[in-house]
Structure 1
């Protein structure tokens, strides 16, 4: 029996992630020309591809560090583009778009600092981070559904929930990784910074 990790198909999950990145431009265009239904359709395709690449990678043991990075990057590119462009066309407030993007900038800056000062980093999304991503997706879909003149949820509570989870998740990332860095840099002290 051959090892499926050596199959030429092992790069399929990464290819799907790259295709999802390529969908960012058509989604951005659909938002800019105020075609929310088209944007929703493209985001639905991106969502299916997100589930598909993860399933295929796990099912056949084709997970890789590159695949994890590409998958997360594709998701972030789509979310950030949607928030910024929806703010640009006036469908979502700028303060929320900047808060979402600011959180991601803090996380990326922290990851780069870790890489430079500590060493290789293994992404470990927390439940709070996953909840933050989920509420961002729900909020964006709701904005596009409302812009399509379809029944939608009230946006103010979703805006507040998105903002609060962004702030909580950003603080959690900073504290969690700061404590880990302290423990690595000061292994003998046994103390965590107060």
Structure 2
């Protein structure tokens, strides 16, 4: 198993540790959880960079990397919603978009079409990650800016989802339904 795939697996294993620290009740537990989230998020960048640079892209990585990302982000969003930091309907919007775009990519792949990440999608991801990092800390002075960025991320989630479907409507082939 190559290094990028090991990093992907590590990211998946970090999720339960992140959740445990979110539930623990000692002074720095939220900061430790946030640090774990940051490290796990960084492994996403790192494994992709190493895989592309060293030509180590595998079918396992193509499957597991986006799955690991979704597990990590979903866990953080659910934890933030469970604390009442963000509304659950925003989590539903974000996750619905993720499932829909993943489904679109699967459908496209079945027709040998690759849907690359768009700049809007990347901007959505960055704004989500920044907002989650700020909100996960539990530091009150960071919550307001974190919430502003989070609601911006929700808007970007909707816009980028519409963009993916608009640009790739041929994949849906609605005439054969």
Instruction: Give TM-score, length-normalised by structure 1.
Output: 0.77
2:114 counterpart residue number: 122
Tell me how many residue pairs correspond in the alignment: 172
Residue among 116, 123, 134 paired with 1:131: 123
Corresponding residue SS for 1:90: coil
Tell me, yes or no, if structure 1 residue 101 matches structure 2 residue 95. Answer: yes
1:161 aligns with 2:152: yes
Deviations 1:112-142 (A, max 9, x none): 4445xx5345341100111111111011011
Between Structure 1 and Structure 2, the one with more helix by share is: 2
Q: For residues 135-158 of structure 1, what are the alpha-carbon distances to aligned partners after superposition, in whole Å with 9 as ceiling and x for unaligned?
A: 11011011023x045656523421
Q: Distance in 2 between matches of 1:160 and 1:91?
A: 12
Equivalent residue number for residue 73 of structure 2? 79
Please list every run of 5 or more consecutive structure 1 residues that lacks an aligned counterpart in the other structure.
1-9, 186-194
Residue 24 of structure 2 is matched in structure 1 by 33
- The ranges of structure 1 where at least 4 consecutive aligned residues each deviate by more than 6 angstroms after the TM superposition are none
The Cα shift of 1:17 comes to 0.5
> Which of 162, 165, 168 is the aligned partner of 1:174?
165
Q: Distance in 2 between matches of 1:68 and 1:82?
A: 22
CA distance in structure 2 between the partners assigned to 1:29 and 1:106 by the alignment:
29
CA distance in 1, matches of 2:147, 2:39: 27
Structure 2 portions without partners, runs of 5+: none
Report the structure number with the largest CA radius of gyration. Answer: 1
1:42 aligned onto 2:33: no
Residue 58 of structure 1 corresponds to 52
Query: What's the TM-score, normalizing by structure 2?
Result: 0.83
